Structure 1
Amino acid sequence: MRDKIFNTIINSLFSLLAVGLFYNQVIRAPLFMQLSQNNRIRVIQLSAPRGKILDRNGKVVAGNRVRLDCVIMPQEFIDKENGFSRLSSILGMPEDVLKKRFNRRLLNPFTPVVLAPDISKENAITIEEERFNMPGVFINANPIRDYVYKDAAAQLVGYIGEIGQKELDKLDRYGYRVNDLVGRSGIEEEYDNYLRGEDGGMQIEVDSKGKQNRVLGLKEPKEGRDVYLTVDIELQKYISELFGEGRGACVVMNPANGEILSLVSKPSFDPNVFVVPDNFKIKEILSGKSHPMLDRAISCAYPPGSIFKIAVATAALEERKLSTDREFICNGKFHLGNQVFDCWKENGHGPQNVINALKNSCNVFFYNTGMLLGPDLIAKYSQKFGFGRPTGIDLPQETSGLVPNKLWKRIKMGETWYNGETANYGIGQGYLLTTPIQVLGMTAAVANGGFLVRPHIVKRIASVDISAGSIRKLGISDNSLDVVTTSLRKVVEDDNGTGVKARVKGLSIAGKTGTAQTGRGTTHAWFVGFSPVDKPKVALVVLLEEGGKGGLNAAIMGGKIFKKAQELGLL
């Protein structure tokens, strides 16, 4: 009985299978024939918008706009001669250029080819109207980057570009694909994993003329996460405009927590050029002698000149080589054996203690101080202030600079260290190289009572706060810091201080000027400062490449920036 039931079930199943096969192969055969001859399945990638980059007040610094691309699906683009001829007429581009572009970008019959990116709305409408006469041609709307402030924030924000084949070989396992856009510098590169979204796709059924019949499947793209900066874009824009055609860098930071309020490098470039590549403009940028893509704030190292006297004075006070009572006589020259080293003031400053020497930026005083310390102690305190290593700012391509000592020279050059090199070390010249962001770290450490803070630019990603930075106590006594702070206040607030041009009515400002020799007969101009002196909220560094004396344009710019920060409510 059981066998009979089992056989009945099996026979029933086979009967159903036979009926199903007959239905699909005979009854529905004409339908499937029609689908196979006249219809195709097309898969369209739906690009995900990158997350927005916003400033501390929620203003969009890098957003997205819609780009209309003329795209060809190779497997459907049968009548090429007619297609290219019509597209040439619509787009106003030579037919041979379109053909070469198509062949160059063709990967396989199933991968869409972007023939003409970012076409006008009018051309897109015309192509859509002509689409039935050009099978395989369609318009694809994609979100693309829009850098609102153009060259004012280029090094800070960075730019995006198409992924290369070598990069793709390494990153395809992480979801990257051909023609994907990736961050190339700045925030775009550093936070690319957060900013890039997750692409979607649509599977549609189209007829032989490319007309859509129905949507078979849809996966919505997922937008990348928004990144919120600590930067005030209005301050950023203002400082960028202050530079004009000049070269250099300026960084403004909250010395208490390391929040970067502005980071400007000049000359700069418009990152929008790389979004829809303009080869002529890109070549112009890349071959420019002024190197506009360099981030001079973090990627270039310079001799610091007299601003380094802050570190030397602190070292000498801590090591008890100096006190506020000890003086050196400056008559305009310092004699060391048969060598003579000049002070910037030809007739000299007369008797100088450490407070007046910093206020007047007396070279002779710091030649003497450098000799008291020696190169290894100067190097020790330089490293304590963060020189000679990256600050850890959340931007790519930060350089370390150079802090020399006796051992370094022996290993690097195979030579002994000379006393004349120690004298130059005392005024921030010689082998020493520093970045503007490192100099700002030293300035902030004096301002905040002896803590080295890690500068950072991103406050939060979406709703997640990531702004907590590292703060390290330097172990420098309050007494030494008080002496240095008093001196720096006199630099700006005394009528004969070297930084008097940075003075702003109603603000207490401490600062230091610097004029660094380049070895080419020119000088870089530096100014560092912080305000208010008692409870600093803003610290800054200004570097003007080949900008003359630090007490002139650099100090003037510093004062203007403090005033603007006050207007913006940052002070």
Structure 2
Amino acid sequence: MAREKKRKRAQLPVRLNILFFIVFLLFSVLILQLGVVQILNGEEFQEEIDRTIQDTTKIPVPRGKIYDRNHKPVVDNEPVYSITYTPPKGVQAEDRLEVAESLAELISMETKTLTERNKKEYWYLLNKEEAESRVSDEEAADMSNAEYYNTVLDRITEEEISGFSEQEKEVIAIKNELDKAYSLTPQIVKNDGVTAEEYARVAENLDKLPGINATTDWERQYPYGSTFNSLLGSITTRQQGIPAENEDYYMTRGYSRNDRVGKSGLEEQYEDVLRGRKEQIQYTTDKSGRLIDTETVVEGQRGKDLVLTIDMEFQEKVDTIVQEELLTAIKKHPTMNRHMDDALAVVMDPQTGELLAVSGQTYDREENEFVNTAHKTLYDAHVPGSVVKGATILSGLESGVIKPGEYIHDSPIRIGNDPPKGSWSSNLGTLDDIGALRRSSNVYMFYIALRMGGEYRYPFPNGSSTSFDTGAWQEMRNYFRQFGLGTDTGIDYPYEATGLQGSSENRPGNFMDYAIGQYDTYTTMQLAQYVSTIANDGYRVRPHFVKGIHEPIPSLDKVGPLYKSINTDVLNRVEMDQSYIDRVQEGFRQVFQSPGGTGYSYFGDKSYNPAGKTGTAENEFYEDGQQIYTENLSLVGYAPFDEPEIAFAVIVPRTGDTNNQHPINHLIGERILDTYFELKGERDEEAAE
């Protein structure tokens, strides 16, 4: 027994030693691990403890301004008070509701546009448990999250959302704007009609309104009112943001969804330079979301400024001329001119392509007022009439079917059983190519068309038929396109029509109509480019609205340094002998300056040496099943003849009978040229002083 006890006492220290050894090993491992953590990974773990989150917010800047050629502001930015919301990460609907309730005590909000869904979403947040109890667990099991949420809203009754007070409706309206915000992207909550008092109240309580800021925004301002505004275009609102159909395009170029962008006109065409460079601010927060620091990493810069080729003083005068003559024509013959509502005019420098004035006026008979529709000079194409005869003569000369100075007797022509086709007067006599322009002979143009189609006999025997080469259509259209008729002008604008070709029936009579401008349709801008090409010795230049792009400067009344100049762009030189172009130029001069010329009574006594071509075209259309007969009146011209500095085109569609008509096309053209040279003289005198 004693020996057994002694043996057990001897074994106890061995076990304790083993236990102590194990404990020692464990502590050694622990100390080693602590050493590794402290020495090798200490810095990494400390960084994790101190880890912060950095996010960059892009703050929109004002758009560039637009000036006329004399540096007068045409589109400006007007500063306005603005309340914005920039949601932090992880914000929930309940958080936005709390902000909306607090903000509603400081500002008023328009509530007329609230929808039933807006009200239901608000009721749901206030009565979440009650609303969700209306959908059973069995129903919810088969629904997606979106389906479940929509079902919950559907079961909120109209009675439950019908008793909201005006204050509650304002909360709903504010929350609706807060819900549109994207993380770290400022969303406009209110910038229309924010008063100074509201701005001050919000600014004083920003610490109680997480994400809310009181700042200044801008709105487009138009010093000239509606003048030229249909061509300037418009921009989207903050609420509209970027167009949904082009979202990918804009988002890949650094836009936010609520950015304002140009959606039409020059605002759209020059979006890339007008948009500016957003200010980028880097926000640093800790793991709990507490803001630690802010830093501006990219300085913002408002958009670059555009200087237009348009002379706004001249533009206003041209608009007045077009309005006055259109109204006079309508009042003078209200029944005959019951379909005449529009008058269009384009004025440009034929040598540079700079547009000096572009006017479109539409008379609203119900409101008894004019609407600026200058975009119609690019959008609307009309049958132009005899103004295109310069291109027809040149087609005949260049194709060789007529010779310079060749005489043709003007007498009606009949093709097969068709009615005779003749000129506007039966007493035009025998004319050469220049005389045919001066007197506006249809028959001379008919012979050019028939000869290009394969009929070379002279005189063409009445009543006979001819073998007609339909390829002549394309040949003459190719000549016309060299002047910009029937093709793009190349203008710096998002859209322009190119006109329509007449019916596909390739009959000789139709081709004869084409030769006198009674078949295909053209825009006023195309006609302006056409006459400019003739005035410019056959060089077709691209018309353009913008003269230069300038860097922005803080000054409110000065244009900054030039960033890019928009120079003259020659699209093509017509492939025709210069001597042929000289003959057409002389014909145009005689139209305005020689007795017997169709424009002589309006331009014959002018000192500025004008040239041009008149036109009238039959314009038939159907209204309520009844065929209506009207006429399009047109006019193109330029001056001075020897060194052109201004060219113009006028179209007045759907007028009444020319024989009893107010000569609106001639009067608009005459007054445009008179006004241009009067204004030039006044400015020359001022400069001399």
TM-score range, shorter chain: 0.7 to 0.9
- Does 1:249 pair with 2:344? yes
User: Which range moved further: 146-155 or 96-105?
Assistant: 96-105
How many angstroms does 1:222 deviate by? Answer: 1.4
Cα distance in 1 between the residues matched to 2:480 and 2:109: 66
> Is it true that 1:358 corresponds to 2:446 in the alignment?
no
Tell me what 1:399 maps to: 497
Quickly say closer, same or farther: Cα 1:298–1:80, change in 2 above 3 A: closer
Work out whether 1:71 is the aligned partner of 2:84. yes
Whether the 8 Å CA contact 1:155–1:268 is kept in 2: the answer is: no
Partner Cα distance (1:440, 1:15) in 2: 80
Q: Which amino acid aligns with 2:513?
A: N
- Cα distance between partner residues in 1 of 2:259 and 2:37: 54
Is the 1:44–1:202 contact (alpha carbons within 8 Å) kept by the matching residues of 2? Answer: yes
Aligned partner (choices 533, 537, 544) of residue 449 of structure 1? 537
| Residue 478 of structure 2: aligned partner | 380
Equivalent position of 2:586 in the other structure: 486
- 1:177-209 CA-partner distances (Å, limit 9, x unpaired): 111111122222122111111121557899xxx
Report what 1:533 is aligned to: 641
Q: How many percent of aligned residue pairs carry the same amino acid?
A: 26
Alignment partner for residue 315 of structure 1, among 392, 395, 398?
A: 395
Task: Give the match for residue 52 of structure 1.
Answer: 65
Look up the match of 2:654: 546
Q: Please state whether the residue corresponding to 1:339 is helix, strand or coil.
A: coil
After TM superposition, the score normalised by the length of structure 2 is 0.65
Larger radius of gyration: 2
2:512 maps to 423
Partner of residue 667, structure 2: 556
Given the superposition, is the C-alpha separation of residues 551 and 259 from structure 1 closer, same or farther in structure 2, using an over 3 Å criterion?
farther
**TM-superposition CA deviations, 1:298-335 (whole Å, max 9, x none):** 2322212111111111112233333464434445x432
Q: Is the 8 A contact 1:387 1:403 kept in 2?
A: no
Q: Does 1:390 align with 2:463?
A: no
Matched residues in 2 for 1:547 and 1:504: separation?
27
Superposed CA offset, 1:355-374 (max 9, x none): 23212222233233322233
State the aligned residue count.
513
| Aligned partner of residue 390 in structure 1, secondary structure | coil
What is the aligned counterpart of 1:297 among 360, 363, 377? 377
Query: d(CA) in 1 for partners of 2:179 and 2:110?
Result: 21
Task: Tell me which residue corresponds to 2:527.
Answer: 439
Matched, 1:327 2:407: yes
The secondary structure found in structure 2 opposite 1:522 is strand
Report the TM-score when normalising by structure 1.
0.78
Q: Deviations over 1:52-95 (max 9, x none)?
A: 22222222222212122233456565154454355338999955
Deviates more, 1:158-167 or 1:371-380: 371-380
8 A Cα contact 1:458 1:467, kept in partner: no
Distance (Å, rounded) in 1 between the aligned partners of 2:392 and 2:501 = 13
Task: Confirm whether residue 114 of structure 1 aligns to residue 197 of structure 2.
Answer: no
1:370 match = 449
Residues 164-313 of structure 1 aligned to structure 2 (within 5 Å): 164-201=243-280, 216-218=294-296, 219-244=298-323, 247-267=342-362, 295-313=375-393
Give 1:172 deviation, angstroms: 0.8
Q: Alpha-carbon deviations, 1:374-403, whole Å to 9, x = none?
A: 343422321232323212111111222245
How far apart are the structure 1 equivalents of 2:377 and 2:360?
6
Counterpart residue type for residue 384 of structure 1: Q
CA contact (8 A) 1:83 1:134 kept: no
Change (3 A) 1:334 1:421: same
Partner Cα distance (2:284, 2:202) in 1: 17
Partner of 1:566: 677
Stretch deviating more after TM superposition (238-247 or 255-264): 238-247
Distance 2:219 2:620 in 1: 45
Greater CA deviation, 461-470 or 482-491? 461-470
Contact 1:247/1:266 (CA < 8 Å) preserved in 2? yes
Matching residue within 617, 621, 627 for 1:516: 617
Partner of 1:272: none
Tell me, yes or no, if the aligned pair for 1:163 and 1:179 is still in contact at 8 Å: yes
What displacement does 1:541 show?
Answer: 0.9
Shift of 1:457: 2.5
8 Å Cα contact 2:227/2:372 also seen in 1 = no
Read off the aligned partner of 1:401 and give its amino acid letter.
G
Matched letter for residue 63 of structure 2: R
Contact 2:284 2:292 in 1 (8 A): yes
1:240 CA displacement: 2.3
Structure 2 distance, partners of 1:325, 1:186, is 46
Sort the Cα spacing of 1:418 and 1:551 in 2 relative to 1 into closer, same or farther, 3 A: farther
Q: Is the 8 Å Cα contact of residues 100 and 175 (structure 2) preserved in structure 1?
A: no
**Aligned residue in 2 for 1:154:** 229
Q: 1:461 deviation in Å? A: 2.1
The one-letter amino acid paired with 1:256 is Q
Over 3 Å counting, the alpha-carbon distance change for 1:127 and 1:496 in structure 2 is farther
How far residue 229 of structure 1 moved from its aligned partner, in angstroms, is 2.2
How has the CA–CA distance of structure 1 residues 371 and 92 changed in structure 2, closer, same or farther, with 3 Å as cutoff?
Answer: closer
**Alpha-carbon distance, 1:237 to partner:** 2.3
- Distance in 2, matches of 1:165 and 1:101, equals 23
**Which residue matches 1:35?**
none
* CA-atom RMSD in angstroms: 4.0
CA distance in 1, matches of 2:406, 2:37: 111
Unaligned runs of 5+ in 1: 1-6, 26-40, 207-212, 270-289
Contact 1:513 1:551 in 2 (8 A): no
Checking the alignment, whether the CA contact within 8 Å between 1:543 and 1:554 is kept in structure 2 is: yes
Residue of structure 1 in register with 2:567 after alignment? 467
| Change beyond 3 A, Cα 1:557–1:90 | closer
Aligned to 2:687: none
Q: Deviations over 1:471-523 (max 9, x none)?
A: 42213223222221121112112344222324563210001111122222112
Q: Which digits, 9 at most, give the CA deviation of each residue in 1:120-155, with x for residues without a partner?
A: 544544544774697355433113322333322224
Distance in 2 of aligned mates of 1:116 and 1:44: 20
Aligned to 1:87: 107
Secondary structure in 2 matching 1:340: coil
* Deviating more after overlay: 468-477 vs 170-179: 468-477
C-alpha separation in 1, matches of 2:244 and 2:318? 38
